[in-house]
């Protein structure tokens, strides 16, 4: 998710994330992983995925790879490397 620099600081990103979380929950997803800015996503409840036993397939700082349980306890007893779909490999 990104917002053009000239449109930032208007609440657009906030609305996109909130709507995305609602849509993911409505679609039945139980958790979401994000590789993003470590100072932005925690406001939505994301925490460092490493603390839960998860790592990212891409090299990244631990604090930038985060997870949010949409259903409490959804990740209990789970851990491992999170792999992204092939469409992300091009970036």
> The domain that contains 75 carries what CATH number?
3.40.630.30
Q: pLDDT-based confidence at 90, cuts 50/70/90? A: low
Q: Which domain holds residue 46?
A: 5-88
- pTM, two decimals, is 0.87
Whole-number Å distance between alpha carbons of 74 and 91: 29
In 3D space, the residue among 75, 89, 84 whose CA is nearest the CA of residue 34 turns out to be 84
Burial degree of 44 (CB within 10 A; 0-12, 13-18, 19+): middle
Q: pLDDT (tens digit, 9 = 90+) per residue, 11-55?
A: 999 999 999 999 999 999 999 999 999 999 999 999 999 999 999
Domain total in the chain: 1
Element of type H or E holding 55: strand 54-56
Whole-number Å distance between alpha carbons of 10 and 84: 30
Look at residue 91 and tell me whether its pLDDT is greater than 60: no
């Amino acid at each position: 998710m990104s917002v053009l620099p000239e449109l930032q600081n208007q609440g657009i990103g906030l609305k996109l994330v909130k709507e995305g979380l609602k849509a993911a929950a409505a679609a039945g997803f139980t958790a979401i992983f994000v590789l993003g800015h470590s100072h932005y996503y925690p406001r939505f409840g994301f925490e460092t995925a490493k603390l839960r036993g998860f790592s990212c397939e891409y090299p990244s700082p631990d604090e930038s790879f985060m997870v949010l349980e949409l259903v409490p306890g959804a990740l209990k007893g789970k851990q491992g490397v999170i792999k992204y779909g092939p469409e992300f490999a091009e970036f």
